Amino acid sequence: MDYVFDLDATLYQDNGEVENDCERLIQKFFAERLNFTDAQSREMREKILRRFYYEAQAMEPMFGISEKEFMDYICATGVSHLSPNPELDRLLAALPGRRFIFTDSTIGHVRDTLRQIKVNERRFEQIFDAECSGFCFKFQKAAFEAFFKATGTDPHNSILFEDSLRNLKMAKSFGMSTILISPSAIQKEKFVDLQFPDINKALAYFIKQKTAHFLKK
Ligand SMILES: [Mg+2]
């Protein structure tokens, strides 16, 4: 059994501070690295998103800046507000199978986050970041295809833990089992197998209920 984890807003919960900080860094990049005014930045980002899935994918063709440089810049968010979660480290260790992190963020951000929440990086077989997927993102088929190929994970024998419905929908289209981590109202979408308010509760369930039993349903 393979357990696949998104990072942001899945392995920790905040009030959107990391996401907001990332948006602040995107604006800073457009202002300081690309020398756009606020109005020009807004216009340019709208233009980019009509042609590309995400700003990162426009960097090389439009500005001659590597996707990696852009992603390293915007993912260097603050994480010091995140609460340590040593219980999560214990739960991960007790899961009977391989564990992966599959994130649209960067390895640097993953490491900063794990250090802050007190989860040992060695709990994971591999950290598969945006660079590993060739800067495709999880709402694109190609990101999942790259993940399965690189990790040898069989989608029919793996579970994705995620806060994004869009990403869970993509995972389900490959046959993965899907767990929504969200404290908000229960989602009735067909592509969500189960929902838990936080990652600790989800893992406690899988350790107690035996994962194989869940997959047979
Ligand atoms: Mg997330």
Predicted confidence at residue 201, as pLDDT, reads 97
- Total length of the chain: 217
Residue with tokens 């194989």: 212
Q: How far apart, in whole angstroms, are the C-alpha atoms of residue 143 and residue 132?
A: 9
Condensed to tens digits (0 to 9), the pLDDT of residues 92-136 reads 999 999 999 999 999 999 999 999 999 999 999 999 999 999 999
Ligand 1 centre to CA of 164 (Å) is 6
CA of 174 to the centre of ligand 1 (A): 19
Domains of the chain: 2-12+80-216 (3.40.50.1000), 17-74 (1.10.150)
Task: Quote the CA–CA distance of 164 and 143 in Å, as a whole number.
Answer: 15
Residue with tokens 């219980």: 87
Calpha distance 107→5 (Å, rounded): 14
Question: How are beta strands 194-196 and 126-128 bridged, if at all?
Answer: unpaired
CA of 94 to the centre of ligand 1 (A): 23
Lowest model confidence (mean pLDDT) among 26-30, 41-45, 143-147, 181-185: 181-185
